[in-house]
Structures are given as structure tokens and as C-alpha cells.
A and B are shown apart, each in its own frame.
Chain A
Amino acid sequence: MDTYREVILIMAATIRVATPLVIAALAGMFSERAGVIDLALEGKMLAAAFASAAVAAVTGSAWMGLGAGVAAAVFLGLVVAFACVTHRGNQVVAAMAVNIMVAGLAPTLALAWFEQGGQTPQLDLPGQRFLGLPWPWAQAARAHPLPGLAYAELVSGHSPIVYLAAIVVPASAWVLYRTRFGLRLRAVGENPLAVDTAGISVNALRYQACLISGVLCGVAGTYISTVASAGFVRDMTAGKGYLALAALIFGKWRPYPTLAACLLFAFADAGAARLQGVALPGVGVVPVQFIIALPYILTVLLLAGFVGESVAPRAVGVPYSKEK
């Protein structure tokens, strides 16, 4: 029974850790399938985390916070699009610029506005955060652990953003594979010239992709500061944007495999917290740092073609210019 309980709790933690990863990875998917490298996931999420926490602290409304978070991330997505699509700048450089600017700007503004050393105030009033939604009979179900605990921990009681993430995955798959927009988006990431020849604007499609990515990053960032924690602290995304990118590569730029990769990485993370100092049979104590590094090591191995193969959209990173 204890093992069962442990497994359920690790799975519940996995869901919570995976949520921002999944949303951010899908954000990256839209952008990269359209041919724009999305290294700026980290910066866009951090900006959203700050904006949402700041607005939620001031207005007292988590929904206003979400709006602000999305607006901040979308703005940065448009900055990247302006630099990379309109001015055909280097996409990697533009993304690094965004990540670094946000890392500096968010704590600067937080310090000036809230005078708490670069953080936002603690969000502890009701309504400032997206708290868990208990489903019917969740408490009662705990009395019968075998299906009941799983229902109470895994299905019930998550924040609305978790359920949103569960919807975004099939929705993204549908948009990408079943709509005309999705077809064009994938085409523009593989062969922009063909899309252009068909009389469709490459730049407009890429702007739309950056916009979608911004919206999703906004949601993911809001989750980080208003659900997973209660307020913004410096550098709180802590590499999650890059981890999401790794998951996207691991999922071969496809929605469901990307979801699986996010769950795997999140499971490693949730497991690492519980495995600290525990000796595994046959292996001994696994250092936590090894588990932290595992997603990155796996991604490197995958990219190198040692475990499976992952091929990027062909035109990713290449600015499109009509004149050539």
C-alpha cells in the first residue's frame, strides 16, 4: 500500500512539473515548425512569470495576471519576429538577446515597484493564484484508496492551467495536422519558397507562429509564478525553457511524442526529489545531479543519432528573403 501511495504521489508531482514544460514545448513546436528557432522560450516564460505575478499582486486577480503574462510573452514573441522575420536577423542571437534582457529587466522592475529585493510580493490572498479545483467526491474517495486515491490525486484537485495543458496537446495536434493553417505552417518550416510560390505570405505565417508561441509561453510562465509558486523570484524559470526545447527535440517536433518527453523529464524531476539519498537495488545511490542532467544528456544522445533520430524542420533558423 505504501508503494502504491508513493507511486501515485510521484505521478501527481509529475503532472504538476510537466504542465509548464508541455505548454512551453508546444509553444516552441508552433514556432519551430514554421521555421523560427524558439530559444527564447526561457525569456518569454520568465517575462510572463513576472508580469502575471506583479499584476496578480496589484489587482488581486489571477486572471488579470494571466492576461498580463500572455501580453508580456506575446510582446517578446513579436520582438523576436520583428528582428528575425522582418529584419532577417540571426534567430539564435535574437532569442539570446530576449532571454538576457528579461533576466535583467524583470528583477529591475520588481525591485523598483515592490522594493522587496527583486521579487514580487507573496501571493497569499484568495484569488491571486490559480488554486486546485477539487472534483466531486475527491475527499470521500480517499477512504477507498485503490481507485480513490488515484482519482483524488491524479484527476482531481489540479489548477485550471493543468487541465488547459491537457486540452492544448490534442488541440495543437489537430491544428497542426488537420487544418489548412497547420499544413501551411508545416510547409513554411520545410520549404518556404514553395509556400511563397503558392501566393501565401511566409512572413505572415511566421508572425502568426511567433504569436501562438507567445500566448502559450505566457500561460506556461503564469503557471510557474502563480501556481507552482506564490510570486515571482529572480531567474525562477531556471532553465525550464531550455528543458522544454529539449523535450521538443526529444519529441521530434510532434505534439504527442513531445508530451511523452515532457512527462518523462518531469518524472525524472519528481523522482529525483524523492530518490535523494535512497539506494536503488543494484545501482546504489544515484546522485540527484545526475538525474537533473539526465534530460540534457538524453537530448544530446538523441540529437547525435545514438538513440533514435530527430530531424529538425528543414528551414528552421534560415531567414526567408523573397529576393533570392
Chain B
Amino acid sequence: MSAGGRLPRWAEYGLLPLVNLAAALLLSGIVVRLIGESPWAALKLMVAGAFGSQDSIGYTLFYATDFVFTGLAVAVAFHAGLFNIGGEGQAYIGGLGVGLVGLAMGAWSAWVVIPAMIAAGCVFGAAWAFVPAWLQARRGSHIVITTIMFNFIASALMTYLLVNVLIRPGQQSPESREFGPGAVMPAMTDVLGRMGIKFASSPFNLASALALAACLLVWLFLWRTRWGYALRVVGQNPQAAVYAGISPERTTIVAMLLSGALAGCLGVNELAGSQHRILLDFPGGAGIVGIAVALMGRNHPLGILASSLLFGALYQGGSQLSFDMPHVNRDMVILIQGLVILFCGAMENLFRRPLAALLGAASR
């Protein structure tokens, strides 16, 4: 970010991400063209698939909820100068916490069980992030490498637990038994129905409200508390932080605990809200989508909310697309996700400088 590339705020947070997104979509469109389909028709199908009916909107919001949690997780760590690639593993282990509570306390009242599930998701996710955080803070291990390794360790651990311990007896596929009725996050169709609004049934559930609350809390934490301030100082200049009496080690650990807790909430949406049991690989890459979401949302909760919606729509629209276009399937969305990371993250300077020059010329 050289001085020549400074943009006004509206361009930094609004225009630049849109330009980057446009570049990613353009390249994806070229790929669609190459495989002999019409990019325009594909786009229309995707938009219709994501927003065309109440239940597709429900699915879009359901996926978006996952991405809000993992996107916030990446962003909080990012503000402390840490690149947490371990969202996937933290979400997986967090889901274990959610699931264990669901299995053990499922018969109790939902007023007790659901808060306990949320807490367990946060604690398990944070615990899985704690080890890489501690190793980075105290032993100087590179957090990127350790969190990647922890993703694989989490995956092996969960496979072991599901195959050998949690599996429902007398069943082939490695899944736990279903949670009790108290451990089910209310579906939005019921919640809205009670308020007299008719909304089609979908996995969209109350965890989305938790995601909104998480956005607000992260914003309050980062920009309205002393700890959030310390975290951002450490992220921008660890030396200055030391002079200001802030301990980078402690801040690293706090940031990663928070990050892991946010990722751990994914289980609340996926397991308590939709699957109602623990199953193999339920995060399904949402931890990785979080990286794209955070980068595109410029690590700000509002931006993350917007880019989560976009990715939720891409996921839902992408799966609809595969029904109508036999040559295109959801893998296309993974490509778009990679391109967004490329343009919003790795090549952010590619469009920043020309944009800055253009805006500078216009204002002069």
C-alpha cells in the first residue's frame, strides 16, 4: 500500500471490492464461455436460483450465516496481524462441542440447551485455536503453518471420533444419532410463522440472528473497547504496541481465541440449525470461504455481512445452476471464490493504483 495508492474511504470500502469482484466474475464468465455455455444465462440462472423463491432465499441466508461466522473469524485474527487459515478445523471442533451438548442434553429445555450449545461451540473452537496461538506467541511457530496442520489434525480426530465413538450403533455411515428435541435451533419458518409472516421452509434458522449479533459484537469489540484497540495496534505495529505497554503475546492469544470461538459457532447453524446430528466433514469448506469473505469485506463486519450474502447466493445459486446447466456445477463457485481471493487479496494493488490515479485526476 504505497502512498500513491491511497483511496478515499468510499472507494476503498465500496468501489475497490466491486471492481475486484467484477474482475473475478469476468474471468469466471470467460471460463463458462470456454466450456460452451452462455455466461449471461448462467448468471441469470444463479440469481434466480439464489433469490427466485422463498425457499431459495432461505438457503442463501443459511449459507451466508456460515460465512459470517468464518469470515468474522478470519477478520478478527487479521486485525491482529495474524492469518488464521484454521477456520475449517476450528469450525469442525467447535461443531463437536455443539454436538456433544446436543447429544447429552437434548432432552432438556431448549432455553438451557441452546445457550449451552453456543457456549460449547465457542469454547471448543477457541480451544482448537489456542494451541496454534500459544505456539505463535510463546514459541514463534508460524501461525499459518500450524493452523493448516491443525486443520488436518482436526479432520483425522473427527473421523476417528465419528467412526469409533460417536457413530450410532448399527449404522454404516459415520454419523452420530440425532439430537434431542431441545437441541434444535428454531427454524425461521416457525419463528416468522409465529409472528404471522409466512415463509417457506428451509434450513434458514435462528442462528442467523446469532450471526448478526456476532457482527455487532465484533464491531463493538474492535472499535469501541480498549482490548480491540490493543489488538489493532498489535496488528499494525507490534513494536509500537510494546512501547504502549501492550503485550503482543497476550493479544495474539486473545485474538485467536476470539477467532476460534467465532468459527466454532458454525456448528450452531449447521448442526443445531439444520443437520441435528454430527456428521463427517460438515463444515464443507466454509472455513476457507471465510478467507474470501473477510478479504472482500475489507475485514469490516458490515463488509463481511455483504460479502457473506454474496457468497451465500453464489453457493445456493451454484447448486441450482447445476440442475439447469449440465456442464456447469458448484465447482464453478469454488473457482469464483479463488478468483475473489486472488483479486481482493493477493493482487489488491493491481486495481488500487489505477483507481487512485483516476480518482485523483477527477478531483483535480
Cβ of B150 within 8 Å of any chain A Cβ, yes or no, is yes
* A86-94, A137-145, A217-225: which lies at the interface: A86-94
Q: Is residue B41 within 8 Å, beta carbon to beta carbon, of the partner chain?
A: no
B223 at the interface (CB under 8 A from A): no
Assess whether A293 is in contact with B157, with CB atoms less than 8 Å apart. yes
Using a CB-CB cutoff of 8 Å, which residues 76-121 of chain A contact chain B? 79, 83-84, 87-94, 96-105, 107-109, 111-113, 115, 118
A87–B327 contact, CB under 8 A?
no
Return chain B residues, CB-CB under 8 Å to A304: 135, 139, 141, 146
- Alpha-carbon gap, A113 to B37, bound state (A): 12
- The stretch that binds A, out of B44-52, B107-115, B329-337, is B329-337
List CB contacts (< 8 Å) of B138-184 with chain A. Answer: 139-142, 144-146, 148-150, 152-153, 156-157, 159-160, 163-164
Minimum distance in angstroms from B330 CB to a CB of chain A: 9
CB distance from B191 to the nearest CB of A (A): 34
Tell me how far the C-beta of A243 lies from the nearest C-beta in chain B, rounded to whole angstroms: 8
A232-261 near B? 1/0 per residue, CB < 8 Å: 001000010010011001000000000000
Question: With A289-B156, A293-B157 in contact, do A105 and B335 touch (Cβ < 8 Å)?
Answer: yes
Contact A118 B342, beta carbon cutoff 8 Å: no
Contact of A296 among B153, B159, B292, B338 (CB under 8 A): B153
- Tell me if B305 counts as interface (CB < 8 A to partner A): no
- Bound together, the chains give a CA A102 to CA B334 distance in angstroms of 9
Does A300 touch B at the CB level, under 8 Å? yes
User: CB distance A87 to B350 under 8 Å?
Assistant: yes
Contact check: which of A37, A103, A118, A296 meets B149 at CB < 8 Å? A296
B306 at the interface (CB under 8 A from A): no
The residue on B at minimum CB distance from A293 is B156
Q: Is the CB of A108 within 8 A of B152?
A: no
The answer to whether the Cβ of A305 comes within 8 Å of any Cβ in the partner chain is: yes
The closest CB in chain A to the CB of B83 belongs to A92
Are B157 and A104 touching (Cβ within 8 A)? no
The distance from the CB of A44 to the nearest CB of chain B, in whole angstroms, is 13
Asked if B349 and A300 make an inter-chain contact with CB atoms under 8 angstroms apart, the answer reads no
Given A97-B338, A107-B331, are A87 and B149 neighbors across the interface (CB < 8 Å)? no
Q: Which of A98, A107, A296, A303 contacts B135, CB < 8 Å?
A: A303
Is A166 located at the chain interface by the 8 A CB criterion? no
Q: Within the complex, what minimum Cβ distance (angstroms) separates B316 from chain A?
A: 16
Provide the main secondary structure of the chain B interface.
helix
B357 at the interface (CB under 8 A from A): no
Chain A at the B interface: SS class: helix
Question: What residue of chain B has the Cβ atom nearest to residue A246's Cβ?
Answer: B149
A8 contacts the other chain (Cβ, under 8 Å)? no
In angstroms, Cα B159 to Cα A108, docked, is 28
Nearest A residue to B2 via CB reads A323
Q: Are B346 and A90 in contact (CB under 8 A)?
A: yes
Most chain B CB atoms below 10 A, which of A37, A92, A245: A92
Q: Which B residues are in CB contact (< 8 Å) with A37?
A: 144
Q: Which of A97, A111, A249, A297 has the most CB of B within 10 A?
A: A97
Contact between B148 and A242, CB atoms less than 8 A apart:
yes
Please tell me if the beta carbons of A287 and B145 are within 8 angstroms of each other in the complex: no
Please tell me if the beta carbons of A97 and B341 are within 8 angstroms of each other in the complex. Answer: yes
Q: Are A289 and B160 in contact (CB under 8 A)?
A: yes
> Within 8 Å CB of A293, what residues of B?
152-153, 156-157
Least CB separation from B343: chain A residue: A97
Residue B288 at the chain A interface, CB threshold 8 Å: yes
B190 interface residue per 8 A CB criterion:
no
Name B's A-contacting residues (CB within 8 A).
31, 35-36, 83, 85, 131, 135, 139-142, 144-146, 148-150, 152-153, 156-157, 159-160, 163-164, 288, 291-292, 295, 326-329, 331-339, 341-342, 345-350
Q: List 29 A-B contacts (CB under 8 A).
A: A83-B342, A89-B346, A92-B85, A92-B144, A94-B342, A94-B345, A94-B347, A96-B291, A97-B342, A97-B346, A100-B338, A103-B338, A104-B331, A104-B334, A104-B337, A105-B335, A108-B329, A109-B31, A111-B329, A115-B327, A287-B160, A287-B164, A293-B152, A293-B156, A296-B156, A300-B141, A300-B150, A303-B135, A304-B146
**Chain A interface residues toward B at CB < 8 A:** 37, 39, 79, 83-84, 87-94, 96-105, 107-109, 111-113, 115, 118, 234, 239, 242, 245-246, 249, 287, 289-290, 292-293, 296-297, 299-300, 303-305, 312
